[in-house]
Amino acid sequence: MSAALKDAVGSHKQKDWPKHLVILFFIVIELFPFYMMLQVSFKDNASFIQNPWLPTAPFSVTERFQAPAPAASASPAAPAAGAAVESAAIKTRERAATWTEVFTGSVTPPPGDPDYVGGEMRFDLGVYKLTNWGFGLKLIGPYIANTVFVAVTGTVVTLFLAILGAYFFARYKMPFSGVLWGAFMLLMLLPGVANIVPLFTLLKELSLLNTLWALIIVGIAGGQVFNLFVLRNFIEDLPKDLFEAAEMDGASHFKQIINVVIPMSGPIIGTLAILSFLGKWNDFLLPLIVLRDKELFTLGVGLIYLDGEYVKQWGQIMAAYFIASIPLIVIFLFCMRLFVRGLSAGAIKG
């Protein structure tokens, strides 16, 4: 029996290895841009052009070249002086070592350069351009602060209003409540880009153009439909006895939301908070249209202008991109379990 069980387990593992290869392939595809962004952020343009795909080796090479001899002087002492100058006319050039040079232990001379004299290779951590990170942080630091303010404020207010609306639609019925709910659901079929022109006109009349509050208010309004749809179905499936017991204890509607709805809907609220935050963090079209002052730019718009203004400094660009992605990485690492719990709870409740 034991041998048969081992054979069955071994056969099952042999059948699973193609699945593992497929999963590994997609993981590599997803992580490759992250890897490229990280390793390029430590390079200057010369290192990037020399070795765009692999990280820079922690070695530098000092190359020596014979400079052209100066023209001879007509003075009697010219030959001796000219010889001294010629012997000292050596130019040097610093560059990062290639991985081939590191493994072979010898410096590769530049092809077709007759002035090349020789070169030395030494261990040098200075080839990693940490100044790119300082430049990137200084450049997009204000953009990150603006984006955090818009995303956090918009997410908190969006969920607060969505919970109130979902509680109303789930717990109470009133005349034409079905029509009102259908109108909310109809908004899910309307693409947001179709409202750009009237939305811009409305924001202009309200004097909200070129303000962060325009992004917050539009984000709050646009996030209600999906959150209401999810939360209403979830709250409808909560035990009615909990609400009845709260009413017998004299709890108001607001206290029922605080003490019953939010604790029981924690996972799904957390999932919606993550989705809402990511949506506002990655928003690009509305900030591009509404904002004009560079001091008010969010990350989406700021990074586009960075690419246009500093297009030749690839190390600085990649460092700025990587810094901009750090908050999303932190959210993924610390909120992944909450996100999965919310999806599972929503699937069970549905």
Averaged pLDDT, 123-148: 92
Token look-up 């990485």 returns 329
What integer pLDDT is reported at residue 42 of this predicted model?
95
Residue 220's nearest CA partner among 173, 155, 278, 269 is 155
The partner residues of 91 in beta bridges, in order of sequence, read: 65
What integer pLDDT is reported at residue 84 of this predicted model?
40
Could you tell me if residue 6 is inside a domain? Answer: no
Could you tell me if residue 188 is inside a domain? Answer: yes
Domain boundaries, position 232: 131-349
Could you tell me if residue 14 is inside a domain? Answer: no
25, pLDDT greater than 50: yes
Q: What percent of the chain has pLDDT over 90?
A: 43
CATH number for position 318: 1.10.3720.10
- Min mean pLDDT across 34-38, 62-66, 204-208 is at 62-66
Does residue 165 sit in the same domain as residue 103? no
Q: How many CA atoms lie within 13 A of 242 on its CB side?
A: 17
* Average pLDDT over the chain, rounded to an integer: 84
Averaged pLDDT, 271-295: 92
Q: Distance between CA atoms of 125 and 134, rounded to whole angstroms?
A: 17
Could you tell me if residue 42 is inside a domain? Answer: no
Does residue 228 sit in the same domain as residue 307? yes
Does residue 148 sit in the same domain as residue 193? yes
200/79: higher pLDDT: 200
32, pLDDT greater than 80: yes
Backbone torsion region of residue 176, taken as left when φ is above 0, otherwise alpha when ψ lies between -120 and 50, otherwise beta: left
Does residue 172 sit in the same domain as residue 300? yes
Task: Tell me whether residue 107 is exposed, middle or buried, using C-beta atoms within 10 angstroms of its C-beta: 0 to 12, 13 to 18, 19 or more.
Answer: middle
Could you tell me if residue 261 is inside a domain? Answer: yes
301, pLDDT greater than 60: yes
Does residue 169 sit in the same domain as residue 69? no
What integer pLDDT is reported at residue 70 of this predicted model?
60
Q: Distance between CA atoms of 318 and 306, rounded to whole angstroms?
A: 10
253, pLDDT greater than 70: yes
Does residue 72 sit in the same domain as residue 201? no
What integer pLDDT is reported at residue 82 of this predicted model?
43
Does residue 181 sit in the same domain as residue 108? no
Could you tell me if residue 181 is inside a domain? Answer: yes
DSSP 99-162: HHHHHH-SPPPPTT-TTEEEEEEEE-GGGS-THHHHHHHHHHHHHHHHHHHHHHHHHHHHHHHH
DSSP letter at 284 equals: -
9, pLDDT greater than 60: no
80/36: higher pLDDT: 36
Task: Tell me whether residue 342 is exposed, middle or buried, using C-beta atoms within 10 angstroms of its C-beta: 0 to 12, 13 to 18, 19 or more.
Answer: buried
Does residue 113 sit in the same domain as residue 199? no
Does residue 273 sit in the same domain as residue 229? yes
Of 85, 112, 127, the residue at which a domain comes to its end is: 127
What integer pLDDT is reported at residue 344 of this predicted model?
64
Does residue 183 sit in the same domain as residue 70? no
259/81: higher pLDDT: 259
Model pTM greater than 0.85?
no
Could you tell me if residue 117 is inside a domain? Answer: yes
What integer pLDDT is reported at residue 148 of this predicted model?
94
Could you tell me if residue 338 is inside a domain? Answer: yes
The partner residues of 180 in beta bridges, in order of sequence, read: none
Number of domains in the chain: 2
190, pLDDT greater than 80: no
What integer pLDDT is reported at residue 86 of this predicted model?
44
Of 84, 107, 127, the residue at which a domain comes to its end is: 127
pLDDT digits (tens, 9 = 90+) for 203-246: 999 999 999 999 999 999 988 888 998 899 889 888 889 898 99
Does residue 175 sit in the same domain as residue 123? no
Q: Are 338 and 270 in contact (CB under 8 A)?
A: yes
Q: How confident is the model at residue 343 (pLDDT cuts 50, 70, 90)?
A: low
Does residue 165 sit in the same domain as residue 304? yes
